[in-house]
Structure 1
């Protein structure tokens, strides 16, 4: 074991005449991934060294003559498992685990083979939020609406829409906006039960929310919609504001000048014009 400890720094600094890069592995937060060690046929591995290259270079696992070791102090301590085929398993994954990894293999003839893998860790996609905005509503004939779909704080998200109960949605390209995040629909009475699903996905997960826009186009009798409340509240507020401004212009006094204004009104009352 002493010989291995002395030889390890030499392997670490040894030139890498043969290498392969570009392999990509995707994982989900809370899950695990397997970083597979591969080499050419006839390459009889004697030693293996797994390292994390980014954001910091750390030793993760080693194998020397069949002895596997993973108890190295790194950010993956306690979350690594080196298999007999020299593939490294990581998990449970955390959001900051994305990065580059390398495995250095040495065969019985002294040849060196290095493989670099790129790990990308994604969070599971939560259920999206969908809002319905009514553009034109002419009861009971037509209703034009915009369906907006949104997922917070998730990267690499893809948005798509699906008509429930139909295999092929067949929407026109001009009906989608903001990279598919917003959908424009035109509905009639025959579309009362039509439901749409917003599907959000990333490379490792997906989720969806169903909405029936006709319910927002026509509210039930006796219940006020947001539009009705808006039409009632705004005029009342305008009247109150105008009344306040009128009173202020009549007596532009406040605080200490309030009594002066009152005195002026008294004098005008007591001394009417003849």
Structure 2
């Protein structure tokens, strides 16, 4: 009896016209989602069938005359629960679970209703990484200001957006030219009054978000502290010294290369015995 009902439902599905993707449902990897089966109050469901439509059509759950069944061989086996209101719960979700799902319902009067839902599964956003880069001081720049570039990056994540927030404000309110590469890089000019001001990079997708906060003035080094050396002072010493050592090495290779070859040639010549002339032997007539 159950098999005959199932075949009748599949026949109903084959005869019904194609249904466009309906409402979109969003969730994240590791979570669960509830796909709601909606019908009018006067629609008394007698039989129902849930299908996954991508990448191939798979039977997930059925309802026949009060009996719920979810033990069908599919990629969701063990991760499916059919509730009494015929809504389908999936979880824990995986990255490849995105796709279209449909439910076919038949009421006690033989009327059929098909509903299609689109599920989109996102990865949870990890904590971003913010780096601070100091711009070289320009001619027109005040000696008491520091121009910095804040770079924000979230690893191995797609479909994300970047935004920035200054401490004590709801939004950054930065000019458009202050943002680069789709909001990943922010350029700000800091003064002595901004020593304790922090900036937060907010990374988000439709289902999750995270942020990282930095105080960029700490990276500004207009003057090295007593007893400490700034990275600029280190570069002024290390770079010329490296160039000097490289030039000395090249000069040594150029100078000693020919001399060494000549010396080896002289030693080899001293060790070889002098050649003696072989007497000519003439045949007697």
TM-score for the superposition, normalised by structure 2: 0.84
Q: Identify if the C-alpha distance between structure 1 residues 260 and 6 changes in structure 2 by more than 3 Å, giving closer, same or farther.
A: farther
Q: How many residues align?
A: 261
- CA shift for structure 1 position 203: 0.6
* Structure 1 portions without partners, runs of 5+: 266-274
2:171 is equivalent to residue 173 of structure 1: no
Three-state SS of the structure 2 residue aligned to 1:96 is helix
Structure number with bigger Rg:
2
Which range moves more in the overlay, 132-141 or 119-128? 132-141
Contact 1:54/1:100 (<8 A) preserved: yes
More strand by share: 1
Please list, as runs of the form range in 1=range in 2, the aligned pairs for 1:101-250 lying within 5 A after superposition.
101-137=101-137, 141-218=144-221, 220-250=225-255
2:5 is equivalent to residue 7 of structure 1: yes
Q: Whole-Å Cα distance in 1 between the matches of residues 230 and 263 of structure 2? A: 45
- CA shift for structure 1 position 20: 5.8
Please list, as runs of the form range in 1=range in 2, the aligned pairs for 1:251-270 lying within 5 A after superposition.
251-252=256-257, 258=260, 260-261=262-263
Three-state SS of the structure 1 residue aligned to 2:218 is helix
- CA shift for structure 1 position 210: 0.6
Three-state SS of the structure 2 residue aligned to 1:223 is coil
Give the aligned CA root-mean-square deviation in angstroms.
Answer: 2.3
* Structure 2 portions without partners, runs of 5+: 268-285
Which range moves more in the overlay, 123-132 or 14-23? 14-23
Three-state SS of the structure 2 residue aligned to 1:125 is coil
Contact 1:47/1:65 (<8 A) preserved: yes
Q: Whole-Å Cα distance in 1 between the matches of residues 68 and 225 of structure 2? A: 69
Q: Identify if the C-alpha distance between structure 1 residues 220 and 115 changes in structure 2 by more than 3 Å, giving closer, same or farther.
A: farther
Aligned to 1:90: 90
Contact 2:37/2:86 (<8 A) preserved: yes
Contact 2:21/2:100 (<8 A) preserved: no
Three-state SS of the structure 2 residue aligned to 1:121 is strand
2:43 is equivalent to residue 43 of structure 1: yes
